[in-house]
Amino acid sequence: MEKTRYPIWFLGTVLAAITALAGFNVWAEHFILAHPVGGSVQTLSGFERAVKPAWLEAVQPELVFVGSSRVRDAFDASITAPPACRPTRRAAWCRTL
């Protein structure tokens, strides 16, 4: 009975889920970049934002790279892809990085 339709239901569910995820991402990107109070891009993890400042305070290192995520990436051979950046009129952040 449903044996013929099973692959169709399966693939239909997969396609629906992909569409929903892609739709959410498009909406989220638009929401973030075109927010009325100004576009922002959060690329740093919670560690970089919240824990690292306190950790630096405790360690008191002699040298600190400001904007360290980019500097760190520059020295990390395993990270080869450049940060995602799509210059638009609204997303001024991209040109100023």
Partner 1 sequence: MPFNSYPYFLFLGLAVLGFRLLEASALTGRRVFLLLASYAFYAWWRADFLLLLCGSTLVNYVLGREIEQRRARGKARRPLLIAGLLFNLGLIATFKYDSLLVGTANQIFDIGLPLPNFFLPLAISFFTFEQISYLLDADAGKTHNYSLLDYALFVAYFPHLIAGPIVRHNDLIPQFRQLRARNDDLAAGVTLFTIGLAKKSLIADNLAPFADAIFNAAGRGTHLGATDSWLGMLFFAFQIYFDFSAYSDMALGSSLMLGVRLPVNFHSPYKAASIIEFWRRWHISLSAFLRDYLYISLGGNRQGPARRYLNLFITMLLGGLWHGASWTFMLWGGLHGLYLSINHAFRHGTRDMRLPAALKLPLHAASVALTFLMTSLAWIVFRAPDLASARNVAEGLAGMGHSAVVSFSPLAAVALLLLFGMVWFMPNSMELMWRHNPALPSPYENQHVTPAPFLSWKPTPLNAAAYGLLCIVAVLALSNLKPFIYFQF
Q: Does 7 help bind partner 1 (rule: CB under 8 A)?
A: yes
> In the complex, what is the shortest distance from the CB of residue 95 to partner 1, in angstroms, rounded to a whole number?
29
Contact yes or no for 31/91 (Cβ under 8 A) = no
Which structure tokens are listed for 80?
């080869």
Q: Which stretch binds partner 1 (CB under 8 A): 4-12, 42-50, 72-80, 85-93?
A: 4-12
Q: Is 2 among the residues that bind partner 1 (CB under 8 A)?
A: yes
Q: Using an 8 Å Cβ cutoff, are 33 and 91 in contact?
A: yes
| Nearest distance in Å: CB 1, partner 1 | 8
Measure the CA–CA gap between 47 and 38, rounded to whole angstroms. Answer: 24
Helix (H, G, I), strand (E, B) or coil at 18: helix
Q: Which of positions 16-55 make contact with partner 1 (CB under 8 A)? A: 17-18, 21
Which chain residues interact with partner 1 by CB under 8 A?
1-14, 17-18, 21
